């Protein structure tokens, strides 16, 4: 039976009956490396974890591994983990156990157990990403974390600097917050555009990272920039950006920087306190395979933490960083409470899974590029868990492209490499990309995103622990059949 806590007065904010405020709990964990209060572990949660820890490990990429660990439908060729992930069964079952536990005695759970369980999960997550637990909070997704940062940024005279290969909604968020702020503060005077969008020419050749840094060095100006935002792994182009160097460059220029690491947690080793970005966000539901609804915002500087407002204001407002984010009204916390179990699973299986994904990536890229006579949008070493592969000519009926045309365009860009410019624009549009993606989805049961970049079509192919070579063979054959039959009409 749980020990009774009958101490006087509410701790923290609102009328929650936690034994200690969230701020004090997190500070204590950060200082002592142990939980200051007991964390309730429901038997149903322990029961959900046990089979996954005992199971003799099947080889990643086998049908048994996929069925034992994931829900992905075997009747689909699913090579689009990068979009919305694909949750691990362990996380889903642990989350379900927490959800049921909550409903057995909702007051006891929310009022007296939740905050300690949250703090424990935060501590485990922080250890995994090289952070003090004091420096980060859970958010439901990256978008929430980025909104919190952008809403707290002063856009009265300065704007955001980002790359045109950055995540699209960041531009919209910035425009919205800047417009709101400027309409309430602007009295004439000049201000920088809300968004400086820096162009990155495509495709990219060996050494593009150096050219990118040079370009940012020349075009990023502290007097116009309230915040620079870079993706750790870009969404449409799947590139791993040189974030350490970008952070250092921004700081040399006195510009605060946010890294959008939506694709990083679970796919890339993270050491966030060392990285030193002013703000870093990442998602749990993509490559950590958490149930949907868990992400984090990392803010190592105490002054910036004090300034960041949670986008939803509730009881924890004005009680500190953790209090303001932990409670945005009553909601489902089950996904984040599953994080410690998932980290335990990754601790056991992660090395084999990573090894599987990286050798799959090499083999599949070779298979597809040989079969289609094409290549990647950037050198293979530029990619993390996803790769952008060029489609062969002939995938769209009525768009006559010699299979060699894009290769020739790439060669032209390669020749002009030092001038950092786009290859000649291709004949395709985003409508063509949609037609091909729809055809693959509806006619072939292949789920893969098709991207139109600079007028050329690319497939963004993901490599997850449940994928196997057969997935990429099916993709190869589907595209080959489309070409043989005269392209999608």
Task: Evaluate whether 163 touches 258 at the Cβ level (below 8 Å).
Answer: no
Nearer to ligand PLP among residue 263 and residue 406 (C-beta) = 263
CB 368 within 8 A of CB 475: yes
Structure tokens at 443: 């006619």
Which of helix, strand or coil describes residue 137? strand
Contacts to ligand PLP by CB under 6 A: 141-143, 167, 231, 235, 260, 262-263, 283
Minimum CB distance to ligand PLP, residue 125 (Å): 16
- Cα angle value 150/267/327 (rounded, 5°): 40
147/209 with CB nearer ligand PLP:
147
- The residue among 359, 421, 369 whose CA lies nearest residue 390 is 369
Q: Which is nearer to ligand PLP, 141 or 198 (CB)?
A: 141
Q: How many Å from the N-terminal Cα to the C-terminal Cα in the chain? A: 68
Output 23 or 231, the one with its CB closest to ligand PLP: 231
CB of 141 to ligand PLP, least distance (A): 3
Question: In what helix (H) or strand (E) does residue 447 lie, and over which residues does it extend?
Answer: strand 446-447
Closest contact distance (angstroms) between CB of 227 and ligand PLP is: 15
* 333, 40 Cβ separation under 8 angstroms: no
Closest distance of CB 124 from ligand PLP, Å: 20
Q: How far is the CB of 456 from ligand PLP (least distance, A)?
A: 21
**Residue 263 vs 305, nearer CB to ligand PLP:** 263
Residue with smaller CB distance to ligand PLP, 196 or 263: 263
Query: Least separation, in Å, of the C-beta of 163 and ligand PLP?
Result: 11
Q: Which is nearer to ligand PLP, 110 or 197 (CB)?
A: 197
- Supply φ then ψ for residue 5, to 5 degrees: -110, 110
Cβ at position 53, least distance to ligand PLP in Å: 28
Cβ neighbours of residue 354 closer than 8 Å, sequence gap 6 or more: none
Residues 6+ apart with CB under 8 A from 43: none
Minimum gap (Å) between residue 283 Cβ and ligand PLP: 5
**Strand ranges (E), 232-316:** 257-260, 279-283, 295-298
- Per-residue burial over 192-203, b if 16 or more Cβ lie within 10 Å, else e, is bebbbebebbbb
- 285 Ramachandran zone, left/alpha/beta (phi>0; psi -120 to 50): alpha
**Burial of 104: CB neighbours in 10 Å, binned 0-12, 13-18, 19+:** exposed
Burial tier of 269 (Cβ tally within 10 Å: 0-12, 13-18, 19+): exposed
Output 148 or 435, the one with its CB closest to ligand PLP.
Answer: 148
Closest to ligand PLP by CB, 94 vs 142, is 142
Q: Is the peptide bond between 203 and the residue preceding it cis, with omega within 30 degrees of 0? A: yes
| Those residues with Cβ within 8 angstroms of residue 252's Cβ, 6 or more apart along the chain or in another chain | none
Closest CB to ligand PLP among residues 102, 146? 146
What's the closest the beta carbon of residue 84 comes to ligand PLP, in angstroms?
7
Q: Give min distance, CB of 477 to ligand PLP, in A.
A: 28
């Amino acid at each position: 039976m749980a020990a009774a806590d009958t101490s006087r007065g509410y701790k923290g904010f609102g009328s929650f009956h936690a034994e200690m405020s969230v701020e004090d709990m997190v500070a204590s964990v950060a200082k002592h490396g142990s939980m200051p209060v007991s964390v309730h572990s429901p038997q149903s949660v322990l029961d959900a974890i046990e089979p996954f820890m005992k199971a003799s490990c099947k080889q990643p990429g086998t049908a048994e591994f996929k069925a034992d660990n994931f829900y992905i439908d075997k009747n689909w060729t699913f090579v689009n983990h990068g979009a919305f992930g694909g949750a691990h069964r362990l996380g889903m079952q642990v989350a379900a156990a927490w959800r049921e536990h909550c409903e057995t005695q909702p007051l006891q759970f929310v009022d007296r157990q939740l905050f300690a369980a949250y703090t424990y999960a935060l501590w485990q997550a922080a250890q995994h990403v090289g952070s003090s637990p004091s420096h980060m909070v859970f958010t439901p997704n990256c978008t929430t974390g980025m909104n919190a940062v952008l809403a707290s940024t002063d856009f009265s005279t300065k704007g955001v600097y980002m790359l045109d290969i950055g995540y699209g909604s960041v531009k919209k968020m910035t425009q919205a917050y800047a417009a709101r702020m400027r309409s309430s503060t602007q009295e004439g005077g000049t201000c920088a555009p809300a968004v400086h969008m820096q162009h990155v020419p495509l495709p990219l050749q060996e050494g593009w990272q150096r050219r990118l840094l040079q370009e940012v060095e020349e075009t990023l100006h502290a007097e116009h920039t309230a915040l620079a935002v870079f993706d750790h792994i870009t969404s449409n182009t799947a590139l791993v950006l040189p974030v350490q160097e970008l952070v250092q460059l921004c700081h040399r220029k006195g510009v605060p920087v946010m890294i959008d690491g939506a694709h990083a947690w679970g796919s890339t080793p993270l050491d966030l306190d060392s990285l030193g970005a002013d703000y870093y966000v990442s998602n749990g539901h993509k490559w950590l395979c958490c149930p949907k609804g868990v992400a984090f915002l990392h803010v190592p500087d105490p002054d910036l933490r004090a300034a960041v407002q949670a986008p939803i204001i509730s009881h924890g407002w004005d009680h500190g960083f953790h209090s303001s984010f932990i409670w945005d009204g009553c909601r489902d916390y089950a996904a984040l409470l599953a994080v410690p179990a998932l980290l335990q699973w990754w601790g056991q299986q992660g090395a084999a899974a990573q090894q599987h994904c990286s050798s799959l990536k090499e083999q599949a890229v070779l298979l597809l590029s040989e079969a289609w006579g094409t290549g990647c949008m950037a050198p293979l070493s530029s990619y993390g868990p996803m790769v952008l592969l060029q489609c062969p000519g002939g995938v769209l009926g009525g768009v006559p492209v010699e299979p060699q045309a894009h290769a020739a365009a790439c060669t032209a860009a390669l020749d002009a490499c030092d001038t950092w410019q786009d290859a000649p624009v291709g004949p395709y549009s985003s409508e063509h990309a949609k037609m091909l993606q729809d055809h693959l989805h509806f006619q072939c049961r292949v789920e893969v995103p098709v991207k139109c970049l600079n007028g050329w079509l690319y497939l963004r192919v993901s490599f997850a622990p449940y994928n196997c070579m057969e997935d990429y063979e099916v993709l190869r054959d589907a595209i080959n059949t489309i070409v043989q039959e005269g392209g999608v009409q």
